[in-house]
Amino acid sequence: MMRAFLLMMLIGCAPAPAPHSSTPAWVSDTKSSPAGAPPATAALAPAAAASAAAPATAAAAPLADRYREPVGKIVAAAHADRGAYQKLSHLTDRIGNRLSGSPGLERAIAWAAQAMKDDGHDVHTEKVMVPHWVRGSEAAELTLPIARPLRVLGLGGTVATPKAGITAPVVVVHDWAELDAKQAQVKGAIVLYDVAMPKWTEEKGSGYGETVQYRGAGASRAAKYGAVAVLVRSVTAHSLRTPHTGAMNYADGVAKIPALAVSVEDSTLIARLAADGPVTVHVRTEGQMLPDAESANVIGELRGSERPDEIVVIGGHIDSWDVGQGAHDDGAGVVIMMQALTTLRKLGLTPRRTIRVVLFTNEENGVRGGRAYAKDHEAELAKTVLAIESDSGGFAPAGFSVQARPEVQDRMKARVTDVASLLAPIHASRIILGHGGTDIGPMAPAGVPELGLDVDNRTYFDIHHTDADTLDNVDPAALADDVAAVAALAYVVADMPERIDAP
């Protein structure tokens, strides 16, 4: 568990699907949707939502039978609502990106708390100290065999070069084995990890999980052999000269060397030139880690009517990288959760248990918010019946990934599948075993079962951690359906007589 958790920290917000569930959710979902189900963008009347939700071939579905009516109302209301998009507009266009330690993050936290108060929820913030890394200016260029500017973006956490930068020969590698084989050349050199992320396919989904390891661990593995800096090909399968930042991690006991992402176009250029002769690059960055800064998780609740001490947590992360607007990552997750709670409150649907929105701080470079929440709420975890996270972008929903203890996961999956059959009208019925969420992950050792909202993320890694993660890429209708999926599932789990993981 700990190892998986550390890996999640390292790679940021979108780990690979679990091996046993590598088929992306929406593929099967789309294919298995009942013919005649309305498209996600069509107006849904409550009756339509309810009637489309019971395919004739379904197995016994006691939860769906019991909750058909309220879920129909939730889905219809959320589907027609644009409140999440309005919130996201403010968060992205008016506040912007929000790296831990930045004024933008603290403005976002204050805004989110106020917006949830305005929507009538019980709101408070909980202090969390977060890493405070700042980028400063940075640049890189080829100097041999040609002079050519390179598009780079320092990896989050990178140390600075000397003021004048570093000029050194480049050693290009395509995997760890090639790094090991070339170790004699690496001393004093800049290592370029020119590792291509595979394109998205129906069978395998994105190739992010298998490629991001070079971003996370590349600096220290090259430093062990005496490298003076690393360049890492941006972790994306589609580029328009677009560098992608993201977390990296320095291993203990190894020299910390500067680490920058380079665009796919520039990475392949260097690799082509290096195949023909010596290549030299100049890199300069001012990245530095300042003392920890004060930040906060934001918590807003709809108190349960009968068992308020039993809790369903629904969350996303309010921090982002310091580029673009953090619209899909994870502004979308934040506003989906805020609006899910508001949808229920507006409908007057108060479940037996409490639903608690947690907007976690510092997912991207520390997971301090998620860890602080699990620690500070340790006494509540036994009564935390479920945690749901959205951190794969605000694309059209596909269903949910279940992550729970082995002895629980099959019945969890069956019950969530039962409930989610009601989400067929918005194509969110596909339930798989997979990743829950990075921020809710620290609750897992205490046995809290998790769900991750799965979406059609085929274009997510085009804009992930870039300047192009902006509001114009978010479809308001898709975002509304994400709200519908989360609100419906959270409501049923918070209201059903038994715990969702009960034997």
Which residues of the shown chain bind its own copies in the complex (CB under 8 A)?
89, 93-94, 96, 145-146, 148, 151, 238-242, 264-265, 268-269, 272-273, 324, 462-463, 466-468, 470-472
Please identify, using beta-carbon distances, which residue of 248 and 471 lies nearer to its own copies.
471
Please identify, using beta-carbon distances, which residue of 252 and 472 lies nearer to its own copies.
472
Please identify, using beta-carbon distances, which residue of 266 and 319 lies nearer to its own copies.
266
Helix axes 62-80, 406-420, angle to 10 degrees: 60
Please identify, using beta-carbon distances, which residue of 89 and 288 lies nearer to its own copies.
89
The closest of 448, 338, 438 to 386, measured between CA atoms, is: 448
Asked if residues 16 and 210 have their Cβ atoms less than 8 Å apart, the reply is: yes
Measured CA to CA, the distance from residue 182 to residue 499 in angstroms comes to 55
Phi, psi values for residue 173, rounded to 5°: -130, 155
Measured CA to CA, the distance from residue 153 to residue 140 in angstroms comes to 9
DSSP string, 76-102: HHHHH--HHHHHHHIIIIII----TTS
Q: How far is CA 447 from CA 115, 319, 405, 407, in A?
A: 32, 26, 7, 11
Please identify, using beta-carbon distances, which residue of 167 and 268 lies nearer to its own copies.
268
Least spacing, CB of residue 54 vs its own copies, in Å: 37
Instruction: Enter the tokens of residue 491.
Output: 């409501």
Measured CA to CA, the distance from residue 324 to residue 322 in angstroms comes to 7
Least spacing, CB of residue 156 vs its own copies, in Å: 19
Q: DSSP secondary-structure letter at 37?
A: P
In the block, tokens 């994400």 appear at 482
| Beta bridge partner(s), residue 192 | 172, 231
Measured CA to CA, the distance from residue 298 to residue 276 in angstroms comes to 54
The closest of 397, 395, 401 to 459, measured between CA atoms, is: 395
Please identify, using beta-carbon distances, which residue of 401 and 466 lies nearer to its own copies.
466
Least spacing, CB of residue 13 vs its own copies, in Å: 19
Least spacing, CB of residue 96 vs its own copies, in Å: 6
Least spacing, CB of residue 268 vs its own copies, in Å: 4
Least spacing, CB of residue 113 vs its own copies, in Å: 20
Least spacing, CB of residue 472 vs its own copies, in Å: 4
Please identify, using beta-carbon distances, which residue of 98 and 368 lies nearer to its own copies.
98
Asked if residues 454 and 26 have their Cβ atoms less than 8 Å apart, the reply is: yes
- In 10 A of CB 346, how many CB atoms? 15
Given 310, 363, 380, 389, the catalytic residue: 363
**360: number of CA atoms within 13 Å, CB side?**
33
Can 310 be counted among the known catalytic residues? Answer: no
The residues that are catalytic are 363
